[in-house]
Structure 1
């Protein structure tokens, strides 16, 4: 039986790599994103395996409409809540409020709205939800207050949702990646490609394909097993010491 995955943020990074991987595995892929041209390119590549939908996660009416797709695309077995945003790494007063609101609406409000809308179908099919959190949910860093806060929400939302879904057969996993080299980092550095390249120089970061492999592994676990949270980093990333301010 052919299964269906809905991937938000399918136009780049983890989402695009996941769309390719699941299509290769024989799944139907519903892919959403804001960039229509990217979606068209992905459809040319994946052909009938992909249903591309131009949707902004901040548009709640459009997000909730994903629960009303026509068969067979409506038979969703796996929701990959991958779409997300981040303000440039800077202090809170220095960051434009509109940019912060965009991040909160995408990472939190849109994710919750879509999950809520699809839960009846996921329960009916004893499906699965994979939510993209981050190591930022667990380890504070300078300039990460809003982004890390939204990812901490995603982690806790995933764990509490597991409680709500006890007995339904629906699996929920919070995936918490460390340093991975994608377009996302360029955004985090304020669009500075050189700064993004320098961040990953000579440290062998994770890739989008690494995460697509992980998502596929999670999807293929026996249905009686649930990975609650999974944190992953490249070998060359670990933790820093505490920051200390010394008074003169």
Structure 2
């Protein structure tokens, strides 16, 4: 059985289907999604509908991202967060046109059920953004950090590659876990269009919301599966490129 970890989708339903096809996903695969299913391209509601259905036949873990928190709040009370609205919320709201109150409730239940992180039986951590506690993710006091933090990734990027995980110089934050898989910070910010590895951290967000692609990684072999760039899949849209 493979375990595939999937980066930030941001409403790119066409890209999600492409990745599934190119990875030849079967019901024997475990899929771990790193969050931010919505906000960007025009099919956020459709992404959620598909994932709910897909999870009934496949072993899935759905981590919650910051955009998912915003969408969840809107589904719960109808209030529009202005920051969310200009960062993809407008497109997400439009994608829900035609959805009934009952259908939206199913989506709200789905968002509310999402964990903020996942630890597997091989001590691999899956989280949307990062954490700041030197004692590990379970000791994080401010839960919002788990879907907003960028310092963990920035720290991993600046590390001297000669420092081994067994060294006393290796950051205590990173020592807690065999590997850490994150999204949230697009690798396209560093002019990279493939998942990036720094220390024991793997960043799977390859900029699907912007100029990049959606990525999935086999966590055992590190084989990468990618969609086309979403700008080509949605040629009449801007995504979050505005």
Above 0.5 in TM-score? Answer: no
Higher helix share goes to which structure?
1
Normalised by the length of structure 1, the TM-score is 0.33
Greater gyration radius: 1
